[in-house]
Structure 1
Amino acid sequence: MTASDPIIIDSRFRGPDGMGNGGYVSGVVAEAVGGPAAKVRLHAPTPLDRALQLVRDASGARLMDGDRLLVEAEALGKPLDLDPMPSPPGDEAIARAKAHFPTAEQHMAPRCFVCGPLRDPEEALHLITGHDAASGLAADRWVPRGDLGGANGLVATRYVWAALDCPSYFATGLVDTPALLAGIAAQVQRRPAPGEALTVTGWSLEADGRKLHSGSVIHDESGHAIAMARALWIRMDEGL
Structure 2
Amino acid sequence: MIIESRFHGPDGSGNGGYVAGLVAGQVAAETVTVALRQPPPLETELWVSVDDERGHSVKVWDGDSLVAEGLAGAIVVPPVAPVPFEEAVLAAEKYKGVDGHPFPRCFVCGPEREVGDGLRISPGVVAEGVVAAPWVPEEVPESAVVWAALDCPGAWSDDPQARPAVLGTMTAQVVDVPAAGERCVVMGMTRSREGRKLHAATALYGEDGRLLGRGEQIWIEVSRSFGT
TM-score by length of structure 2 reads 0.89
> AA paired with 1:173?
D
Residue 75 (structure 1) aligned with residue 81 (structure 2): no
2: distance between equivalents of 1:125 and 1:87?
19
Matches within 5 A, 1:82-101: 82-89=77-84, 91-92=86-87, 94-101=89-96
Gaps of 5+ in 1: 1-6, 150-154
The aligned counterpart of 1:55 is: 49
The aligned counterpart of 1:165 is: 151
Matches within 5 A, 1:1-240: 7-58=1-52, 59-76=56-73, 78=74, 80-89=75-84, 91-92=86-87, 94-103=89-98, 106-132=100-126, 134-146=127-139, 149=140, 155-237=141-223
Contact 2:95 2:122 survives alignment (8 Å): no
Contact 2:18 2:145 survives alignment (8 Å): yes
Contact 1:88 1:223 survives alignment (8 Å): no
Contact 1:164 1:200 survives alignment (8 Å): yes
Contact 1:36 1:188 survives alignment (8 Å): yes
2: distance between equivalents of 1:171 and 1:36?
26
Number of aligned residues: 221
Pick closer, same or farther for the CA change 1:175–1:114 going to 2, 3 Å: same
2: distance between equivalents of 1:13 and 1:221?
26
Moved more, 22-31 or 174-183: 174-183
1: distance between equivalents of 2:161 and 2:93?
12
What's the Cα RMSD here? 1.9
How far did residue 74 of structure 1 move? 0.9
How far did residue 90 of structure 1 move? 5.2
Contact 2:7 2:14 survives alignment (8 Å): yes
2: distance between equivalents of 1:66 and 1:36?
28
2: distance between equivalents of 1:29 and 1:194?
24
How far did residue 51 of structure 1 move? 1.7
TM-score by length of structure 1 reads 0.85
3-state DSSP of counterpart to 1:74: strand
Pick closer, same or farther for the CA change 1:93–1:11 going to 2, 3 Å: closer
1: distance between equivalents of 2:208 and 2:17?
25
2: distance between equivalents of 1:116 and 1:87?
23
Moved more, 165-174 or 15-24: 165-174
The aligned counterpart of 1:3 is: none
> AA paired with 1:85?
V
Contact 1:110 1:118 survives alignment (8 Å): yes
Contact 2:168 2:220 survives alignment (8 Å): yes
2: distance between equivalents of 1:74 and 1:53?
16
The aligned counterpart of 1:152 is: none
How far did residue 176 of structure 1 move? 4.8
Contact 1:141 1:199 survives alignment (8 Å): yes
Q: Deviations over 1:144-178 (max 9, x none)?
A: 122xx4xxxxx311011000000011012332532
1: distance between equivalents of 2:18 and 2:106?
11
Gaps of 5+ in 2: none
Pick closer, same or farther for the CA change 1:178–1:187 going to 2, 3 Å: same
